[in-house]
Chain A
Amino acid sequence: MRGSLQAGSLPKVLNAHSRARARRLSLQKREAIACALFVAPAVLGFLAFSLFPLVGSALLSLTNYRLAGWPDFVGLENYRRLLGDPLWWQSVKVTAIYTVAVVPLWLVNSLALALIMNQRLRGISLFRTIYYLPSVLSGVAISMLWIWLLNYHFGLVNTLLKLVGIRGPNWLGDRRTALLSIILMSQWSVGWYLPIWLGALQGIPTELYEAASIDGAGWWAKLRHVTLPMLSPVILYNLVMNTIWATQLFTEPFMMTGGGPQFATLSYILYLYQNAFAYSRMGLAAAMAWLMFLALLLLTVLFFRSSPVWVFYEAELR
């Protein structure tokens, strides 16, 4: 390089060099501009429909906006009101019970099904279709169906119970069984997780099982010491996402019980909906939304913080 930099040719070389660099730069710049244009709609959407509403709901929560007129700034009044509102606490309780009950049930049931289906058996794809099927159906249609199935007098569930001589409860009409009904009903869509589990199970190297067999491990030991550790990153992911979904419970109580009887199924989002769209308390509803966002953020961070204790990443071995 230095040899070529002789007095006479120096300007020319530099010139060519910088021209090449300029061209490369402009190529780079052109690519960056193209990239920006390609992703622009998605980024705009993120700004307009996610970030702006997120910030907006924080600001809105400090006002008494009621969908008409101009909002007044009320400081933390909405938050104070919520913390002193027994119905708000009831909605927190209902959502917490539902989440705590439904997430482990989903995870354990679907994993158990996936383990059964992960064997070399004929006709597995048929079962996979059947189990997956309810998860493509609309929540409204499912709710209608279960209102009918759980009908106190004529529903299929109580009819079957009656055939074996049991008098079934008034599932949705009784304060003690309404939330339980919704929890049990939600297990119908458990098949949605099967593809994820099956994909993850098939990714576990067979050598691990062979080595475990040589060490004399039975199926329980294999499950505990091979399968579960290898699945733990997927378990963490499912745990986080399912917890978020479970807290969004709305359609079922809205359709099936209206939050009753005696607020036994008043979920958080249902209460938020009622405040916003039945009473036009937009500021209060925004405060509810913002509190939920903070709670979910905290929960997600907690899950990830706890993960080094129980999540096993293969890369750590290498």
Chain B
Amino acid sequence: MRKVAVSTRQSRKRLREALRAAISYTVLVIGAAIFLFPLYWQVTTSLKTASDAMRFPPVWFPSPPQWSNYLILIERFPMLLYFRNSLLVSASVIVGTVLSNSLAAYGFARLRMPGRDKIFMLLLSTLMVPGAVLIIPQFVMFQRLHWVNTYRPLIVPAFFGGPFSVFLLRQFFTTIPLELESAARIDGAGYLRCYAQIVLPLAKPALLAVAIYSFVGTWNDFFGPLIYLSDKNKYTVAVALRYLQGSVRTRPEYHLLMAAATLAILPPLATFFFAQRAFIQGTVITGVKG
């Protein structure tokens, strides 16, 4: 008798769990469809003819896909040049960010000096100061240095640390066992060698996360290139998109605009798929948007 009661209770519990899973999946699938459909629309619009893009009822699948839209776009606008510019800036920023922040993080995590933690907190506090608050005096400063309309305002600051990366790397460095280093120290290795030959190789996942964040952040950055770059040939992809949007405004060619937008999101998207784990890990460690 009791056995029966237990088993019906169990089966009822199982039923309830199955029901809950079904509802959860339904919500998740509908949500995912809503999240993905704009991107689907962007890519398919980029493969439609100009008239198909504006047809009603809508053309759900472009057939045949107009790959030539991309060729037309590249012919009309020097997209490859903009890509090259963005890559140049991003690569320099990655080098600067990884180098300066790993050095600082090593100091903050491993070496002692008076007031060290207070300085660290002070650096961290700049996380709460939005960039736009500082942009005016920064612009004036770079203008006085005659750096406007060069890549220097976009690149040079990266070589001087940043709160997000320093925090992420310091957190990671403190998890690396000290013994490894003390052994090397006894063998006469200096701090710089400990940093370069022991800590850095062990911190590869964190360094990768920092590199990826600075890549995506720089690639997507709009405000900086917008105010500092005035020469069209120096535009990065983000500002070039805005220039494109403006130049075809009189007669909107949405299929070409969507082709440009699709090209622009490819590098961050590829990076995301390639290193998803490192990406999400960075968010978890710091809780800060890169």
Q: How many residues of B contact A (CB 8 A)?
A: 92
A132 to B273 alpha-carbon distance, docked (Å) = 11
A271 to B272 alpha-carbon distance, docked (Å) = 33
Q: Which of A65, A234, A289 is packed against the most chain B CB atoms within 10 Å?
A: A289
Q: Could you tell me the distance in whole angstroms from the C-beta of B107 to the nearest C-beta in chain A?
A: 3
Among A15-23, A152-160, A168-176, A222-230, the stretch in contact with B: A152-160
Q: Which of A119, A134, A138, A147 is packed against the most chain B CB atoms within 10 Å?
A: A138
* CB under 8 Å from chain A, chain B span 188-205: 191, 195
Among B4-12, B70-78, B261-269, the stretch in contact with A: B261-269
Q: How many residues of A contact B (CB 8 A)?
A: 91
**Residue pair B216, A255 in contact (C-beta under 8 Å):** no
Q: Is B15 among interface residues, defined by CB-CB distance under 8 A?
A: no
**Residue pair B113, A36 in contact (C-beta under 8 Å):** yes
Main secondary structure of the interface of B (DSSP, over half): helix
A51 to B105 alpha-carbon distance, docked (Å) = 20
Q: Could you tell me the distance in whole angstroms from the C-beta of A232 to the nearest C-beta in chain B?
A: 14
Q: Is B182 among interface residues, defined by CB-CB distance under 8 A?
A: no
A293 to B132 alpha-carbon distance, docked (Å) = 9
Main secondary structure of the interface of A (DSSP, over half): helix
A206-245 CB mask vs B (1 if < 8 Å, else 0) is 0000000000000000000000000000100110110011
Cβ contacts under 8 Å, B210 to chain A: none
Known: A39-B119, A162-B56, A248-B130. A145 touches B245 (CB 8 A): no
B234-265 CB mask vs A (1 if < 8 Å, else 0) is 00011101100100000000100110110011
**Residue pair A42, B32 in contact (C-beta under 8 Å):** no
**Residue pair B222, A131 in contact (C-beta under 8 Å):** no
A128 to B276 alpha-carbon distance, docked (Å) = 10
B interface, CB within 8 angstroms of A: 20-21, 24-25, 27-28, 31-32, 35-39, 41-42, 45, 53-54, 56-58, 100-101, 103-104, 106-108, 111-114, 116, 119, 122-123, 126-141, 143, 157, 159-162, 166, 191, 195, 216, 219-220, 222-223, 227, 237-239, 241-242, 245, 254, 257-258, 260-261, 264-265, 268-269, 271-272, 276, 279-280, 283-284, 287-289
- Beyond known contacts A42-B101, A50-B126, A119-B20: 10 more, CB 8 A cutoff: A32-B111, A32-B114, A41-B161, A48-B160, A54-B137, A121-B25, A133-B36, A188-B35, A241-B287, A250-B132
